[in-house]
Structure 1
Protein backbone atom coordinates (compact mmCIF):
# COMPACT_ATOMS: atom_id res chain seq x y z
CA UNK A 1 0.00 0.00 0.00
CA UNK A 2 2.88 2.37 0.77
CA UNK A 3 4.24 2.07 -2.77
CA UNK A 4 0.79 2.74 -4.20
CA UNK A 5 0.46 5.87 -2.08
CA UNK A 6 3.88 6.93 -3.36
CA UNK A 7 2.68 6.35 -6.94
CA UNK A 8 -0.45 8.40 -6.29
CA UNK A 9 1.72 11.14 -4.79
CA UNK A 10 3.95 11.13 -7.86
CA UNK A 11 0.91 11.52 -10.11
CA UNK A 12 -0.27 14.41 -7.91
CA UNK A 13 3.17 16.02 -8.32
CA UNK A 14 2.87 15.49 -12.07
CA UNK A 15 -0.48 17.29 -11.99
CA UNK A 16 1.16 20.23 -10.25
CA UNK A 17 3.84 20.27 -12.95
CA UNK A 18 1.04 20.35 -15.53
CA UNK A 19 -0.53 23.33 -13.81
CA UNK A 20 2.77 25.22 -13.78
CA UNK A 21 3.25 24.43 -17.47
CA UNK A 22 -0.35 25.41 -18.25
CA UNK A 23 0.00 28.71 -16.43
CA UNK A 24 3.11 29.56 -18.44
CA UNK A 25 1.38 28.52 -21.67
CA UNK A 26 -1.71 30.56 -20.78
CA UNK A 27 0.43 33.69 -20.54
CA UNK A 28 2.02 32.82 -23.90
CA UNK A 29 -1.38 32.35 -25.55
CA UNK A 30 -2.95 35.47 -24.10
CA UNK A 31 0.06 37.55 -25.13
CA UNK A 32 -0.64 36.44 -28.71
CA UNK A 33 -4.32 37.31 -28.65
CA UNK A 34 -5.56 33.94 -27.43
CA UNK A 35 -9.14 33.59 -26.34
CA UNK A 36 -10.39 31.22 -23.65
CA UNK A 37 -13.49 29.09 -24.15
CA UNK A 38 -15.43 26.87 -21.74
CA UNK A 39 -14.32 28.53 -18.56
CA UNK A 40 -17.48 27.26 -16.85
CA UNK A 41 -16.59 23.56 -16.96
CA UNK A 42 -13.01 24.01 -15.79
CA UNK A 43 -13.75 23.93 -12.02
CA UNK A 44 -15.64 20.65 -12.48
CA UNK A 45 -12.62 19.21 -14.30
CA UNK A 46 -10.29 20.28 -11.48
CA UNK A 47 -12.63 18.77 -8.88
CA UNK A 48 -12.99 15.50 -10.78
CA UNK A 49 -9.27 15.01 -11.26
CA UNK A 50 -8.62 15.87 -7.63
CA UNK A 51 -11.29 13.35 -6.59
CA UNK A 52 -9.56 10.69 -8.70
CA UNK A 53 -6.34 11.12 -6.73
CA UNK A 54 -8.17 11.21 -3.40
CA UNK A 55 -10.11 8.07 -4.34
CA UNK A 56 -6.90 6.31 -5.32
CA UNK A 57 -5.44 7.08 -1.91
CA UNK A 58 -8.53 6.39 0.20
CA UNK A 59 -10.43 3.48 -1.38
CA UNK A 60 -7.74 0.77 -1.13
CA UNK A 61 -7.18 1.62 2.53
CA UNK A 62 -10.83 2.17 3.53
CA UNK A 63 -12.22 -0.81 1.64
CA UNK A 64 -9.25 -3.12 2.21
CA UNK A 65 -8.54 -3.49 -1.50
CA UNK A 66 -5.65 -5.86 -2.16
CA UNK A 67 -2.85 -5.57 -4.66
CA UNK A 68 -3.58 -8.30 -7.21
CA UNK A 69 -0.36 -8.71 -9.20
CA UNK A 70 -1.85 -9.56 -12.60
CA UNK A 71 -4.27 -6.61 -12.37
CA UNK A 72 -1.91 -4.23 -10.58
CA UNK A 73 1.12 -4.64 -12.83
CA UNK A 74 -1.01 -4.47 -15.99
CA UNK A 75 -2.74 -1.34 -14.71
CA UNK A 76 0.59 0.23 -13.79
CA UNK A 77 1.89 -0.38 -17.31
CA UNK A 78 -1.21 1.32 -18.74
CA UNK A 79 -0.92 4.25 -16.32
CA UNK A 80 2.73 4.77 -17.31
CA UNK A 81 1.80 4.54 -21.01
CA UNK A 82 -0.94 7.12 -20.45
CA UNK A 83 1.59 9.48 -18.88
CA UNK A 84 3.87 8.96 -21.86
CA UNK A 85 1.06 9.80 -24.27
CA UNK A 86 0.08 12.87 -22.24
CA UNK A 87 3.61 14.29 -22.23
CA UNK A 88 4.01 13.44 -25.92
CA UNK A 89 1.00 15.70 -26.52
CA UNK A 90 2.55 18.41 -24.36
CA UNK A 91 5.85 18.17 -26.26
CA UNK A 92 4.22 18.23 -29.69
CA UNK A 93 1.92 21.16 -28.94
CA UNK A 94 4.60 23.10 -27.11
CA UNK A 95 3.27 26.41 -25.76
CA UNK A 96 -0.14 25.72 -27.33
CA UNK A 97 -0.81 22.93 -24.81
CA UNK A 98 -2.94 23.91 -21.85
CA UNK A 99 -5.40 22.56 -19.31
CA UNK A 100 -7.81 25.23 -20.48
CA UNK A 101 -9.36 25.71 -23.91
CA UNK A 102 -7.37 28.55 -25.46
CA UNK A 103 -7.31 29.40 -29.15
CA UNK A 104 -4.62 31.65 -30.58
CA UNK A 105 -5.76 33.03 -33.93
CA UNK A 106 -3.59 32.60 -36.99
CA UNK A 107 -1.37 29.77 -35.81
CA UNK A 108 -0.65 26.96 -38.27
CA UNK A 109 -1.93 23.48 -37.53
CA UNK A 110 0.02 21.00 -35.49
CA UNK A 111 -0.49 17.68 -37.21
CA UNK A 112 2.49 15.74 -35.95
CA UNK A 113 3.03 13.29 -33.15
CA UNK A 114 -0.10 11.66 -31.76
CA UNK A 115 -2.28 14.19 -33.60
CA UNK A 116 -1.50 12.34 -36.84
CA UNK A 117 -3.29 9.33 -35.40
CA UNK A 118 -5.95 10.61 -33.01
CA UNK A 119 -8.20 13.62 -32.85
CA UNK A 120 -7.91 14.07 -29.07
CA UNK A 121 -4.95 11.93 -27.93
CA UNK A 122 -4.63 13.58 -24.54
CA UNK A 123 -8.21 12.57 -23.73
CA UNK A 124 -7.26 9.00 -24.55
CA UNK A 125 -4.49 9.35 -21.97
CA UNK A 126 -6.93 10.73 -19.39
CA UNK A 127 -9.46 7.93 -19.96
CA UNK A 128 -6.81 5.21 -19.74
CA UNK A 129 -5.23 6.71 -16.64
CA UNK A 130 -8.63 7.16 -14.99
CA UNK A 131 -9.17 3.43 -15.15
CA UNK A 132 -5.59 2.23 -14.77
CA UNK A 133 -4.32 4.29 -11.84
CA UNK A 134 -7.06 3.19 -9.40
CA UNK A 135 -6.87 -0.39 -10.62
CA UNK A 136 -3.20 -0.64 -9.68
CA UNK A 137 -4.58 -1.34 -6.20
CA UNK A 138 -8.05 -2.62 -7.18
CA UNK A 139 -9.83 0.66 -6.41
CA UNK A 140 -12.62 -0.27 -8.79
CA UNK A 141 -15.23 2.10 -7.31
CA UNK A 142 -12.89 5.04 -7.95
CA UNK A 143 -12.12 3.77 -11.46
CA UNK A 144 -15.80 3.33 -12.30
CA UNK A 145 -16.94 6.59 -10.72
CA UNK A 146 -14.21 8.63 -12.38
CA UNK A 147 -14.82 7.01 -15.76
CA UNK A 148 -18.56 7.68 -15.77
CA UNK A 149 -18.18 11.29 -14.60
CA UNK A 150 -15.20 11.89 -16.87
CA UNK A 151 -17.07 10.68 -19.95
CA UNK A 152 -19.83 13.18 -19.20
CA UNK A 153 -17.26 15.93 -18.71
CA UNK A 154 -15.37 14.97 -21.86
CA UNK A 155 -18.56 15.27 -23.84
CA UNK A 156 -18.82 18.90 -22.73
CA UNK A 157 -15.08 19.51 -23.17
CA UNK A 158 -14.79 18.08 -26.69
CA UNK A 159 -17.84 20.05 -27.83
CA UNK A 160 -16.32 23.18 -26.34
CA UNK A 161 -13.01 22.62 -28.09
CA UNK A 162 -14.63 21.79 -31.41
CA UNK A 163 -16.80 24.92 -31.19
CA UNK A 164 -13.76 27.04 -30.33
CA UNK A 165 -11.87 25.64 -33.29
CA UNK A 166 -14.85 26.11 -35.59
CA UNK A 167 -14.93 29.78 -34.66
CA UNK A 168 -11.21 29.99 -35.36
CA UNK A 169 -11.45 28.57 -38.86
CA UNK A 170 -13.37 26.55 -41.43
CA UNK A 171 -14.50 22.93 -41.01
CA UNK A 172 -12.84 20.33 -43.23
CA UNK A 173 -14.62 17.79 -45.43
CA UNK A 174 -14.45 15.21 -42.64
CA UNK A 175 -16.44 17.48 -40.31
CA UNK A 176 -13.41 18.28 -38.19
CA UNK A 177 -12.58 21.96 -37.81
CA UNK A 178 -9.70 22.77 -40.14
CA UNK A 179 -7.88 24.26 -37.17
CA UNK A 180 -8.30 21.01 -35.23
CA UNK A 181 -6.06 18.10 -34.48
CA UNK A 182 -3.64 19.90 -32.31
CA UNK A 183 -3.97 23.46 -33.41
CA UNK A 184 -3.88 26.21 -30.87
CA UNK A 185 -6.30 24.39 -28.59
CA UNK A 186 -4.81 22.72 -25.53
CA UNK A 187 -3.93 19.10 -25.26
CA UNK A 188 -7.51 18.36 -24.68
CA UNK A 189 -8.40 17.10 -21.27
CA UNK A 190 -5.13 17.61 -19.59
CA UNK A 191 -5.74 16.94 -16.00
CA UNK A 192 -5.28 19.93 -13.80
Structure 2
Protein backbone atom coordinates (compact mmCIF):
# COMPACT_ATOMS: atom_id res chain seq x y z
CA UNK A 1 0.00 0.00 0.00
CA UNK A 2 2.74 2.50 0.86
CA UNK A 3 4.33 2.06 -2.58
CA UNK A 4 0.95 2.67 -4.20
CA UNK A 5 0.91 6.02 -2.39
CA UNK A 6 4.46 6.75 -3.54
CA UNK A 7 3.57 5.92 -7.16
CA UNK A 8 0.37 7.97 -6.89
CA UNK A 9 2.38 11.00 -5.72
CA UNK A 10 4.86 10.75 -8.59
CA UNK A 11 2.07 10.47 -11.17
CA UNK A 12 0.16 13.29 -9.47
CA UNK A 13 3.17 15.62 -9.64
CA UNK A 14 3.69 14.93 -13.35
CA UNK A 15 0.00 15.57 -14.06
CA UNK A 16 0.24 18.82 -12.09
CA UNK A 17 3.30 19.90 -14.09
CA UNK A 18 1.43 19.20 -17.33
CA UNK A 19 -1.61 21.16 -16.08
CA UNK A 20 0.61 24.03 -14.89
CA UNK A 21 2.37 24.24 -18.26
CA UNK A 22 -0.99 24.34 -20.03
CA UNK A 23 -2.21 27.11 -17.71
CA UNK A 24 1.08 28.99 -18.14
CA UNK A 25 0.64 29.07 -21.92
CA UNK A 26 -2.97 30.23 -21.58
CA UNK A 27 -2.04 33.02 -19.16
CA UNK A 28 1.01 34.23 -21.10
CA UNK A 29 -1.09 34.41 -24.28
CA UNK A 30 -3.20 36.94 -22.35
CA UNK A 31 -0.25 39.03 -21.19
CA UNK A 32 0.63 37.36 -17.89
CA UNK A 33 4.04 37.99 -16.38
CA UNK A 34 6.23 35.49 -14.57
CA UNK A 35 8.07 36.25 -11.33
CA UNK A 36 10.46 34.30 -9.12
CA UNK A 37 12.31 32.44 -11.85
CA UNK A 38 15.51 32.55 -9.78
CA UNK A 39 14.13 30.49 -6.90
CA UNK A 40 11.78 28.21 -8.89
CA UNK A 41 14.60 25.84 -9.89
CA UNK A 42 15.40 25.33 -6.20
CA UNK A 43 11.78 24.48 -5.45
CA UNK A 44 11.75 21.89 -8.26
CA UNK A 45 15.06 20.47 -7.05
CA UNK A 46 13.80 20.28 -3.46
CA UNK A 47 10.64 18.43 -4.48
CA UNK A 48 12.64 15.95 -6.57
CA UNK A 49 15.10 15.36 -3.74
CA UNK A 50 12.18 14.93 -1.34
CA UNK A 51 11.01 11.90 -3.31
CA UNK A 52 14.52 10.49 -3.60
CA UNK A 53 15.02 10.91 0.14
CA UNK A 54 11.61 9.40 0.88
CA UNK A 55 12.44 6.40 -1.28
CA UNK A 56 15.92 5.88 0.16
CA UNK A 57 14.93 6.35 3.78
CA UNK A 58 11.62 4.53 3.62
CA UNK A 59 12.41 1.62 1.30
CA UNK A 60 13.24 -0.93 4.02
CA UNK A 61 10.91 0.33 6.70
CA UNK A 62 7.45 -0.92 7.47
CA UNK A 63 4.61 1.58 7.24
CA UNK A 64 4.00 3.62 10.35
CA UNK A 65 1.82 2.19 13.11
CA UNK A 66 -0.23 5.34 12.64
CA UNK A 67 -0.68 4.48 8.96
CA UNK A 68 -4.49 4.62 8.95
CA UNK A 69 -4.58 8.01 10.71
CA UNK A 70 -1.85 9.42 8.47
CA UNK A 71 -3.51 7.98 5.37
CA UNK A 72 -6.76 9.72 6.28
CA UNK A 73 -4.92 13.01 6.74
CA UNK A 74 -3.17 12.43 3.41
CA UNK A 75 -6.51 11.84 1.65
CA UNK A 76 -7.96 15.02 3.15
CA UNK A 77 -4.88 16.94 1.98
CA UNK A 78 -5.34 15.61 -1.56
CA UNK A 79 -8.99 16.64 -1.56
CA UNK A 80 -7.97 20.07 -0.28
CA UNK A 81 -5.37 20.27 -3.09
CA UNK A 82 -8.06 19.49 -5.67
CA UNK A 83 -10.32 22.16 -4.18
CA UNK A 84 -7.46 24.68 -4.45
CA UNK A 85 -6.74 23.79 -8.07
CA UNK A 86 -10.45 23.91 -8.96
CA UNK A 87 -10.85 27.26 -7.20
CA UNK A 88 -8.00 28.84 -9.16
CA UNK A 89 -8.95 27.17 -12.44
CA UNK A 90 -6.74 28.46 -15.27
CA UNK A 91 -4.82 30.64 -12.80
CA UNK A 92 -3.40 27.67 -10.87
CA UNK A 93 0.30 27.13 -11.47
CA UNK A 94 3.49 25.87 -9.89
CA UNK A 95 5.18 29.10 -10.94
CA UNK A 96 4.36 32.66 -9.96
CA UNK A 97 2.48 33.89 -13.02
CA UNK A 98 0.27 36.94 -12.66
CA UNK A 99 -2.20 38.27 -15.18
CA UNK A 100 -2.26 42.08 -14.95
CA UNK A 101 -5.57 43.57 -13.84
CA UNK A 102 -7.09 40.15 -13.14
CA UNK A 103 -9.24 39.97 -10.03
CA UNK A 104 -7.70 38.11 -7.13
CA UNK A 105 -9.43 34.76 -6.60
CA UNK A 106 -11.66 34.94 -3.52
CA UNK A 107 -13.54 31.64 -3.79
CA UNK A 108 -12.96 28.22 -2.31
CA UNK A 109 -10.24 28.12 0.34
CA UNK A 110 -9.02 31.53 -0.86
CA UNK A 111 -11.89 33.07 1.10
CA UNK A 112 -10.04 32.14 4.30
CA UNK A 113 -6.36 31.65 3.37
CA UNK A 114 -4.03 33.71 1.22
CA UNK A 115 -1.85 30.73 0.30
CA UNK A 116 -3.73 27.48 0.92
CA UNK A 117 -1.61 25.51 -1.54
CA UNK A 118 1.49 26.20 0.56
CA UNK A 119 -0.35 24.96 3.64
CA UNK A 120 -0.99 21.66 1.84
CA UNK A 121 2.66 21.34 0.84
CA UNK A 122 3.84 22.11 4.40
CA UNK A 123 1.55 19.41 5.79
CA UNK A 124 2.49 16.92 3.07
CA UNK A 125 6.19 17.37 3.88
CA UNK A 126 5.34 16.19 7.38
CA UNK A 127 2.59 13.59 6.82
CA UNK A 128 4.03 11.70 3.84
CA UNK A 129 7.43 10.96 5.42
CA UNK A 130 5.73 9.97 8.67
CA UNK A 131 3.67 7.44 6.72
CA UNK A 132 6.94 5.92 5.48
CA UNK A 133 8.74 6.33 8.83
CA UNK A 134 11.18 8.60 7.02
CA UNK A 135 11.82 10.93 9.94
CA UNK A 136 14.99 12.55 8.61
CA UNK A 137 13.17 13.33 5.37
CA UNK A 138 10.39 15.00 7.36
CA UNK A 139 12.80 17.16 9.35
CA UNK A 140 15.20 18.11 6.55
CA UNK A 141 12.57 18.91 3.93
CA UNK A 142 10.29 20.74 6.33
CA UNK A 143 13.20 23.07 7.10
CA UNK A 144 14.19 23.43 3.43
CA UNK A 145 10.58 24.06 2.45
CA UNK A 146 10.20 26.74 5.14
CA UNK A 147 13.28 28.55 3.82
CA UNK A 148 12.11 28.43 0.20
CA UNK A 149 8.53 29.38 1.06
CA UNK A 150 9.75 32.42 2.96
CA UNK A 151 11.30 33.63 -0.32
CA UNK A 152 8.47 32.46 -2.57
CA UNK A 153 5.62 33.99 -0.60
CA UNK A 154 7.44 37.32 -0.40
CA UNK A 155 8.03 37.31 -4.19
CA UNK A 156 4.44 36.25 -4.87
CA UNK A 157 3.01 38.99 -2.65
CA UNK A 158 5.21 41.60 -4.38
CA UNK A 159 4.09 40.37 -7.80
CA UNK A 160 0.42 40.52 -6.82
CA UNK A 161 0.82 44.06 -5.42
CA UNK A 162 2.69 45.20 -8.51
CA UNK A 163 0.08 43.89 -10.93
CA UNK A 164 -3.08 44.18 -8.88
CA UNK A 165 -6.24 45.47 -10.50
CA UNK A 166 -7.16 49.13 -9.99
TM-score bracket for the superposition, by shorter chain length: over 0.9
- Name the structure with the higher helix share: 2
Equivalences for residues 80-119 of structure 1 within 5 A: 80-119=75-114
The Cα of 1:169 is off from its aligned counterpart by 2.5
| Secondary structure of the corresponding residue to residue 101 of structure 2 | coil
What is the TM-score of this pair, normalised by structure 2? 0.94
Specify the alignment match of 2:41 in structure 1: 43
**Are the equivalent residues in 1 in contact too, given 2:31–2:99 (CA < 8 A)?**
yes
Residue by residue, what CA displacement relative to the aligned partner does 1:29-85 show, whole Å, maximum 9, x if unpaired?
A: 100100000001111111111111112211022xx4332322x22222222222111
The Cα of 1:93 is off from its aligned counterpart by 0.5
What is the TM-score of this pair, normalised by structure 1? 0.82
Residue by residue, what CA displacement relative to the aligned partner does 1:125-173 show, whole Å, maximum 9, x if unpaired?
A: 0001111111112111111111000000000000010010110137xxx
**Are the equivalent residues in 1 in contact too, given 2:74–2:127 (CA < 8 A)?**
yes
| Secondary structure of the corresponding residue to residue 160 of structure 2 | helix
**Are the equivalent residues in 1 in contact too, given 2:129–2:135 (CA < 8 A)?**
yes
Q: Does residue 1:76 correspond to 2:77, yes or no?
A: no
Q: What CA distance in whole angstroms lies between the structure 2 residues aligned with 1:87 and 1:140?
A: 27
Aligned residues: 166
Specify the alignment match of 2:61 in structure 1: 65
Specify the alignment match of 1:123 in structure 2: 118
Specify the alignment match of 1:175 in structure 2: none
Q: What CA distance in whole angstroms lies between the structure 2 residues aligned with 1:45 and 1:81?
A: 24
Aligned Cα root-mean-square deviation (Å): 1.4
Q: Unaligned 5+ residue runs, structure 2?
A: none
Q: Unaligned 5+ residue runs, structure 1?
A: 171-177, 179-192
